[in-house]
Structure 1
Amino acid sequence: MKTLFLAAALAFAPAMVSAAEVKPLAQAHAHNDYEHQRPLLDALDHGFTGVEADIWLVDGKLLVAHEEAHIKPERTLGALYLDPLKKRITEKGGRVYPGSEGFTLLIDIKTEGEPTYKALAEVLSKYADILTVVRDGKVQAGAVTAVVSGNRPKDHMLSEKVRYAGYDGRMPDLNSDMPASFMPLLSDNWTKVFTWKGAGEMPSAEKARLQDIVKTAHSKGWTIRFWSTPDQPGPQREAIWKELKAAGVDKINTDDLAGLQTFLSE
């Protein structure tokens, strides 16, 4: 009996070790994370330090789905993301990954901005102990930084004295003086900024533009992300990922968790 128990324990041990030793990847962001078989958990198993959830305000609840037709009452923002993150942070000594930098929870508002955001702020306030909180413009860094995208009620957010989520800017904001305490992230559609989609060499003018965007954003304390980059495996995706990584783009968007993990680990 002892021999059988030992064999079973040894067989299970490698899986435990590999899960514990997953390397956090600062540039890995799970786009449409909630569409994976295990929302959040699959991303964490691949070392991702950012995930994205689309939310809809339905009968007072914040429900996670990409399309309205896919909404399910049990798939709340709390159940899929906030509760598991709080549990993990408690178990791992106050961080999502022990000894690592922060974690980004990007929340894309799909329903009307202000009422949805007000409901979101109320929910997030219950998780203040794990979140980055801004009080009167002063940042109190937490294990998770929530950032609001989609239908963002900018004026309402600016008026708050206590804020539990940052604002996701767009390319026109690049030349603004928006404080990083309010706008920690600047995101935009790759195809609206660049014509190159990974075929051949990146045009020198566009490469310089990318580098300038990153340099400008970083000088103001913002991080950078692009969506709508090629995401099917192949040379075009590989080429764009190489340029994003080399330029210092902070969050590389993908639905292919294993593919980006492999790329960033090489």
Structure 2
Amino acid sequence: MSLSRRMLAAALSALTLLTLLSAPAAAHARPGDRSVRPLAQAHAHNDYEHSRPLFDALDQGFTSVEADVYLVGDQLLVGHDPEDLTPERTLESLYLEPLRERVVDNHGKVYRRKIDFQLLVDIKSDAITTYAALERRLRDPRYSFMFTSYDAGKVRRHAVTVVLSGNRPRAVLSAQRHRLAFYDGRIADRTDLGPGSDAGLTPLVSDNWTKLFSWTGEGRFPAQERARLRELVEQAHAAGQRVRFWATPDDDTPARTAVWEELLAAGVDHINTDDLAGLAAFLTAAK
């Protein structure tokens, strides 16, 4: 090999190494998921508490993730409590930007096969001001293309559906003719847009399991409670709504498995967990 060719080869090798070293860690995780089967009922509760927010859930095939947000100054910071917040952990850096890159890589989808994906934003600070800050980010052309929208009575589905939980600005959302966010209704309070309400505003209805059911997986599921669960799910589904419960057993015990089996049998749309691998294994085995 001539000197000039050796120099060119060395330069190309150095350039390749530099590119690999300088690439962001998230980029390596984005498109390489051909073997991951998305799990329609898998919801990552407090997803941001995992070592790799969003990506740990995506690696397990989750199709719904939950992020608690606080408005601090002009930043939307992600964390469970105010003392957990740090300036670099923003909604954009942990969720919006990685999802944007993922949707671009997958030609308009979060996964390579088309399946609905939910970003549940649990507002912990003031409802109206936090939503105003969130809406500015959702409408940013960098991100807006990937969000399901509501336009004058019509829902247009896209890669990611943003649903607001926690401190929800109900009146603001209800009055908007055009928006990129939806409302998480409550099952126990029928006045709070529960099962059977307008799915164009409230595509999701959620509640604390222990407020509605006494059974937590020990012994038999009381027949009356099983019937009530199925009635709630059927009512929501008839209106085009999805159903989620939180505060279900989440330790790796037979009780948890028993509750998950009943949720699955009833057609509950989002099974809530902090144990990503555990729920992924359960849902995969149940297929």
Q: TM-score, normalised by structure 1?
A: 0.92
Number of equivalent positions: 252
Q: Which residue is 2:62 aligned to?
A: 48
**1:234-245 alignment runs, 5 A limit:** 234-245=253-264
Paired position in structure 2 for 1:60: 74
Deviations 1:172-215 (A, max 9, x none): 24666532111000000000010000001100000000000000
Letter matched to residue 244 of structure 2: R
Structure 2 contact 215–222 (Cα < 8 Å) conserved: yes
Look up the match of 1:79. Answer: 93
Structure 1 residues 50-105: Cα deviation after superposition (integer angstroms, max 9, x where no partner): 00000000001100000110000111101100100010010011111122321000
- CA 1:18/1:198 → structure 2, altered by over 3 Å: closer, same or farther? farther
- Distance in 2 (CA, whole Å) between partners of 1:34 and 1:158 is 28
Tell which deviates more after alignment, 92-101 or 163-172: 92-101
When the two chains are superposed, the root-mean-square deviation of aligned CA atoms in Å is 1.7
On the 8 A contact 2:40/2:62 being kept in 1, the answer is: yes
The answer to whether the Cα contact below 8 Å between 1:24 and 1:100 also exists between their aligned partners in 2 is: no
Deviation string for 1:84-135 (max 9, x for gaps)? 0010010011111122321000000000111111111111111210000111
Unaligned runs of 5+ in 1: 1-14
Instruction: Give the TM-score normalised by the residue count of structure 2.
Output: 0.85
Q: Which residue of structure 1 aligns with residue 174 of structure 2?
A: 158
Regions of 4+ moved over 4 Å: 15-18, 174-177
1:208-223 counterparts in 2 under 5 A?
A: 208-223=227-242
- Correspondence list, 1:88-237, <5 A: 88-126=102-140, 127-171=143-187, 172-173=189-190, 178-237=197-256
5+ long unaligned stretches in structure 2: 1-28
Larger-Rg structure: 2
Contact 1:131 1:143 in 2 (8 A): yes
- Give the distance between the partners of 1:51 and 1:175, measured in 2 at CA: 21
